[in-house]
Structure 1
């Protein structure tokens, strides 16, 4: 944790680091049981993933479908001090003969020191749809 980092930002940073390392066990402890992740677009991952188990399956699928090539590097973590954090990332992956390299952003809601909601935004929805397919 950076010196003086807000506790909400620290939770998000820990979660992003765990995801980056493929440490889904740690990640599962940083989200609420009823966590929801909203994935944009019209592709195999798009939609509202409700509950810890559904989110865990989403994250496993992202790794499985990319053969472990998925890299999500944190650029910034910005809390509002009122239970919300925005993180900026560079997302890179390979899937079959497709590659992805784009900026992404996550908007987190923090409740009781855990992540309860994740809204995902991507730099290019059409490119994300083409990468993930149906």
Structure 2
């Protein structure tokens, strides 16, 4: 599988709510770099840590967190750029912005993910401390 095919397969499984299949595309020691200065910020290492963070994000947003592709996936060898639009609601706070997720794929598995937001301060306010 090419790097784009791996990230596409992950994305499709995630959008269908098939977490086991989505996570099967990650290396067990994968790193997820969540930007900002909020309760979920920082580098998460390993599937358990990444899964816990994503589960907590879905719980705090009562399932309203949605991430949708906004353009073509692009690759530079083993790096894949994935433009996204994400929305969510926590009480009276909302987030509605664009971002880019950058994946590193090695030997057919996602080994690192970096997220970028168009307004990190607004995203920090949304997630809180």
Tell me the TM-score normalized by structure 2: 0.93
Equivalent residue in structure 2 for 1:28, among 23, 33, 49: 23
> How far apart are the structure 1 equivalents of 2:9 and 2:60?
24
Flag structure 2 segments of 5+ consecutive residues without an equivalent. Answer: none
Question: Is 1:79 matched up with 2:88?
Answer: no
Which digits, 9 at most, give the CA deviation of each residue in 1:21-80, with x for residues without a partner? 332211110100000000110001100001111111111112111111111111231111
Alignment equivalent of 2:9, drawn from 10, 14, 24: 14
Q: Deviations over 1:6-29 (max 9, x none)?
A: 721111112122233332211110
CA-based RMSD: 1.2
**2-side partners of 1:62 and 1:121: how far apart?**
17
Runs of 5+ in structure 1 lacking a partner?
1-5
The Cα offsets for residues 87-134 of structure 1, whole Å up to 9 and x where unpaired, read as 000001111111110001111110111100001111100010000000
Paired residues in the alignment total 128
